[in-house]
Amino acid sequence: MTDRLTIRRPDDWHVHLRDGAMLEAVVSQTARQFARAIVMPNLTPPVTTVAAAEAYRARILAALPADGDFRPLMTCYLTDGADPTEIARGHESGAFTACKLYPAHATTNSAHGVTDIRALGPVLDTMQRIGMPLLIHGEVTDRDVDIFDREAVFIERTLAPLVRDFPDLKIVLEHITTAEAAAFVADAGPLVAATITPQHLHLNRNALFDGGLRPHAYCLPVIKRERHRLAVRAAAVSGSPKFFLGTDSAPHAVERKEMDCGCAGIFNAPFALESYVAVFEEEGALDKFEGFASEHGPRFYGLPLNEGTVTLERKPVEVPARVAGLVPFHAGETLGWRLAE
Ligand SMILES: [Zn+2]
């Protein structure tokens, strides 16, 4: 039985680091686990310009110890008024690694999101031409669509036509949650990929109502039925280069989670690798973990693989009730693998 697993240093291809005091509180959790991370731009106001991305990157680096080598990869928040020239300039200078598309009102701080993706044609043409990835929160926001169906309906109504109309555009369907999403990505061409969170591998929707209402299991897209969890698991451990690690770690203050109309988001950064590796072990797929965590993402983005390694060891680790004053994913549970010092 393998008791130690050494892999190339991994990256997180989807994280919310927030800003101000929350940034200070959480950023070291991500930097401890990952070499790089794709940082979501849904601040208030959102990051839509090169200057804003550069300033945000500087605040992230300032919140970290000077001796670390964590690299934040910045993203541009697409709005109805997105400027293709600014986006191309940002990509060329390295200020923007990718663009993020939120349908308006899909999740936290997405009120500035895109109301009609067809109006973004010039931006998408530019991104396609320069090889800049489009990262998509793939849910329709229509109130007449059941919340558990919003990802599948988005794929049918929006993503499938988008892939057809922009065949050379690199697209990452973020935080997939359904069998429909896993199948769509697997069947699409090599320029369509997906990130997968720990919570969508561990939880089905029963977890939201387990003995009472569970705000710390609430995220968007919301966790789904068991058959969807199993399909997403199968995709993660398949070894396909189209699926890679993206935690979607999304910290909120405890009182903003545990309230009437609590916020969506799970703070999974502190034990992210421990959480993922548990799934790969349960699926008998530890040999596929390095690809998922450390290789598929950079290859899709066209970035170099990291140098150096991290080691996980088979030793129990108790996840505390609080990390940085917040409730982490798996709080109070014991996980079977831990990051070796
Ligand atoms: Zn997110």
Distance 83 CA to ligand 1 centre (A): 23
Query: Residue 248 catalytic?
Result: yes
Distance 16 CA to ligand 1 centre (A): 6
pTM: 0.97
Dihedral sign, Cα of residue 293, residue 298, residue 300, residue 304: negative
Q: How far apart are CA 170 and CA 151, in angstroms?
A: 19
**CATH number of the domain that residue 129 is part of:** 3.20.20.140
Into how many domains does the chain fold? 1
Distance 196 CA to ligand 1 centre (A): 11
Q: Which domain holds residue 68?
A: 4-339
Buried-exposed string 6-25: b where 16+ CB fall within 10 A, e elsewhere: ebbbbbbbbbbbbeeebbbb
Q: Which of 67, 248, 260, 287 is catalytic?
A: 248
Distance 315 CA to ligand 1 centre (A): 30
Q: What is the pLDDT of residues 218-245, one digit of tens each?
A: 999 999 999 999 999 999 999 999 999 9
Q: What is the pLDDT of residues 167-219, one digit of tens each?
A: 999 999 999 999 999 999 999 999 999 999 999 999 999 999 999 999 999 99
Asked if 136 and 172 count as a contact pair (C-beta separation under 8 A), the reply is yes
Q: What is the pLDDT of residues 124-175, one digit of tens each?
A: 999 999 999 999 999 999 999 999 999 999 999 999 999 999 999 999 999 9
